[in-house]
């Protein structure tokens, strides 16, 4: 039996990188997956890359109207959500105090904090008893990095979300857990200057970048019954970066 056989999963921000790898693995393990993206071309390409058992929905997670549309599609097609992976987020580095604008603030908190909150809340009527909810955090919730205060702070709220919601939904046995990626080999990391990437990787005890498959494997563990007694926790997938 596949680990997610006949499960229905929703993954936001899944057109590239970690979430796309997760969607592919979930489908391979038997799930039907709904993925979202903010650009139709990239969304169509991701759906094609996954190949089967997938529906792509154009959705900006900062828009409650878009989220209503997303879960309306899910309700009409499948009627439930067994696994929700609220992954859509924004990250910008090199923003020290004194350089942060209102636009920077809104970009981070609207997507990382507000977007995560309302993605979960809008999904709540469709979540099955015993469902799993995954949130994407960051190693910067623990590892202090100059210029990343805004990013880290916008993600730090997710810790309180996951811990509190785990208690609030305990009677329905809905589990909330956070995956904290370190430097993962994604388009986001690749967009940084080579010297910045080298400096980041130098802080990883394992001495290398992680791969999207590392995140996907962790997401699968947290989504399936292998982790049935785990809720309200964070798993750092960072090669030990948060330890030093």
Alpha carbons 30 and 1: distance in angstroms, whole number: 9
Alpha carbons 71 and 126: distance in angstroms, whole number: 8
Residues constituting the chain? 244
Alpha carbons 226 and 32: distance in angstroms, whole number: 19
Closest CA to 222 of 177, 191, 169, 164: 177
Name the phi and psi angles at 52, rounded to 5.
-160, 165
Which own/partner pairs from 65-73 qualify as long-range (CB within 8 Å, at least 24 positions apart)?
A: 67/118, 67/119, 67/122, 68/122, 70/10, 70/12, 70/34, 70/36, 70/122, 71/10, 71/122, 71/123, 71/125, 71/126, 73/34
Residues 220 and 26 sit within 8 Å (Cβ to Cβ) = yes
Residues 132 and 83 sit within 8 Å (Cβ to Cβ) = yes
Structure-token pair, residue 17: 């990188």
Burial of 230 (0-12, 13-18, 19+ CB in 10 A): middle
Q: Which of the following is catalytic: 32, 85, 105, 151?
A: 151
Q: Is 32 one of the catalytic residues?
A: no
Active site positions, annotated: 151
């Amino acid at each position: 039996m596949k680990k997610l056989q006949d499960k229905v999963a929703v993954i936001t921000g899944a057109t590239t990188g970690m979430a796309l790898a997760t969607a592919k693995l979930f489908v391979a393990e038997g799930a039907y997956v709904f993925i979202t993206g903010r650009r139709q071309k990239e969304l169509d390409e991701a759906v094609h890359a996954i190949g089967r058992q997938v529906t792509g929905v154009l959705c900006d997670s900062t828009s409650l109207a878009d989220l209503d549309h997303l879960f309306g599609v899910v309700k009409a097609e499948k009627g439930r959500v067994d696994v929700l992976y609220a992954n859509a987020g924004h990250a910008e580095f090199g923003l020290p105090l004194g350089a942060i604008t209102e636009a920077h603030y809104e970009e981070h908190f609207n997507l990382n904090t507000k977007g995560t909150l309302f993605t979960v809340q809008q999904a709540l009527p469709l979540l099955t008893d015993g469902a799993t909810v995954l949130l994407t955090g960051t190693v910067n919730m623990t590892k202090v990095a100059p210029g990343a205060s805004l990013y880290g702070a916008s993600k730090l709220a997710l810790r309180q979300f996951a811990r509190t919601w785990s208690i609030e939904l305990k009677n329905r046995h809905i589990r909330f857990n956070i995956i904290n990626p370190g430097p993962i080999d994604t388009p986001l990391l690749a967009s940084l200057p080579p010297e910045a990437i080298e400096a980041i990787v130098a802080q990883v005890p394992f001495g290398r970048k992680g791969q999207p498959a590392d995140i996907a494997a962790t997401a699968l563990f947290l989504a399936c019954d292998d982790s049935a007694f785990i809720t309200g926790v964070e798993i750092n997938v960072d090669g030990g970066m948060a330890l030093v």
